[in-house]
Amino acid sequence: MKDDNLLAIAGGIKDAELREKVVAMLRDPRLSMIETEGSQYTAFAKSPASKRRHHSYENGLVVHTYSTAKIALCLSDIIEEVYGVKVDRDTVIAAALLHDLFKHVTYNEVYPGKYTTSRLGERLDHMSLIIGELYARRFPLDVIHAVAAHHGDNGPIAPQTLEALAVHLADSTDATMSDKVLFAAKDILRDCMGVEVQTLPLEVSPFKVVAAKKEGGCGEVKRRFSGMV
């Protein structure tokens, strides 16, 4: 998935100043006070969203960010249409797109598909990095709050606004969905093909493994994925 998908969603931010700030960060996801240039850091577009769990594959961070923003916007629709309360979509979009932005500088790629924690990642987590940067770039407080609250009760502050809650629930839903599908796909590959897979190759989508099992049982899984895992 291209980061253009993220830019397209950022285009929906109505406030011009906020939109430009978000687009600038997506186009050049760089920390202003810490040097992260150099080959040891994983590039944003290539980065996984975690080392071993959800979206732990190349480009997984962009996929997770895109999905989180889409889910957060769906939740905003529900809050408005079902519960009759207005949601500030600019805040939801900005926070969803930026919530995990600096995960990539917390990883080093050891070899394709295998990541370790970078030197910077051993000192500062992605949440601290993005909050510091948003503060330095003078983002609105409600956007900074929604980013700071995206880990819910497990982060530095729990969501205090509906916008922050929508971003937290979207993040958690997408991460949980990806985790569950990844574990299910590994189980299916073990049961159907007798292979124990640590990391799925990029071309084997765990969603497609689960769908193949539903469509044609183990026979279909073997037909589609033999020789790929």
Q: Given the rule CB under 5 A, which residues bind Fe ion?
A: 100, 171
**How near is the Cβ of 170 to Fe ion at its closest, in Å?**
9
By beta-carbon proximity to Fe ion, the closer residue of 50 and 189 is 50
Alpha-carbon gap, residue 178 to 85, rounded angstroms: 30
Alpha-carbon gap, residue 113 to 149, rounded angstroms: 29
**How near is the Cβ of 24 to Fe ion at its closest, in Å?**
21
Would residue 59 be called left, alpha or beta, if left means φ above 0 and alpha means ψ between -120 and 50 degrees? left
Block residue for tokens 């073997």: 222
**How near is the Cβ of 74 to Fe ion at its closest, in Å?**
16
**Cβ 42 vs Cβ 108: under 8 Å:** yes
Alpha-carbon gap, residue 196 to 211, rounded angstroms: 19
- Nearest-Å Rg of the Cα atoms of the chain is 19
**How near is the Cβ of 72 to Fe ion at its closest, in Å?**
11
By beta-carbon proximity to Fe ion, the closer residue of 58 and 171 is 171
By beta-carbon proximity to Fe ion, the closer residue of 21 and 99 is 99
**How near is the Cβ of 220 to Fe ion at its closest, in Å?**
32
By beta-carbon proximity to Fe ion, the closer residue of 88 and 171 is 171
By beta-carbon proximity to Fe ion, the closer residue of 96 and 200 is 96
Candidates 122, 92, 112, 140; CA nearest to 48 is 112
* Residue 150, both tokens: 């995206």
